Amino acid sequence: MRARYLRPALEIPEIYLYRAPVDFRKQVNGLATLVEQELGHSPFSGALYVFTNRYRNRIKCLLWEDNGFVLYYKALAEEKFKWPSASDEWLTLTGEQINWLLDGYDISLLKGHRKLHYESLF
């Protein structure tokens, strides 16, 4: 597998995926406004916000980095992203999950084993 250099870091503390499709004519200011109005968050918090278009073949990620916005854009040539259903507007992801999504995996199906907590072996 080739190294990927322009990817969201695994250590990003907050990642929010917007489930509804977005008009991709929106650029930084339009997406930042969506973050403020729909989520009620400050787009300057350093969190990563993830959006897709109605065809699910493009992704935009918005991130404030110290003194300006970073806009990450990925357009698939043939396939579509496996986007979670729109039960809630926003979904929180980990750095690993956003990279799985960018690789084409269905993140709604990627669940690890449930955690078990025991007090004793007997």
DSSP state of 37: I
Separation between Cα atoms, residue 102 and residue 120, nearest integer Å = 41
What confidence tens digit (pLDDT) does each residue in 19-47 have?
Answer: 899 999 999 999 999 999 988 999 999 99
Give the tokens for residue 121. Answer: 């072996």
**Residue type at position 22:** V
What confidence tens digit (pLDDT) does each residue in 78-107 have?
Answer: 999 988 876 667 888 989 899 888 888 888
Q: Which pLDDT score is estimated for 1? A: 56
Does residue 121 lie within any of the structural domains? Answer: no
Does residue 57 lie within any of the structural domains? Answer: yes
Does residue 113 lie within any of the structural domains? Answer: no
Does residue 43 lie within any of the structural domains? Answer: yes
Does residue 115 lie within any of the structural domains? Answer: no
Q: Which pLDDT score is estimated for 88? A: 65
Does residue 4 lie within any of the structural domains? Answer: no
**For the residues 40-55, what does the mean pLDDT come to?**
95
CB 50 within 8 A of CB 14: no
Does residue 48 lie within any of the structural domains? Answer: yes
Separation between Cα atoms, residue 69 and residue 86, nearest integer Å = 26
**Residue type at position 2:** R
Instruction: Identify the sign of the CA torsion 22, 26, 31, 34.
Output: negative
Give the tokens for residue 114. Answer: 């449930």
Model pTM?
0.82
Instruction: Specify the number of domains making up the chain.
Output: 1
Instruction: Identify any residues that bridge with 43 across adjacent strands, giving them in sequence order.
Output: none
Separation between Cα atoms, residue 97 and residue 110, nearest integer Å = 8
Does residue 45 lie within any of the structural domains? Answer: yes
Domain enclosing residue 50, as ranges: 15-103
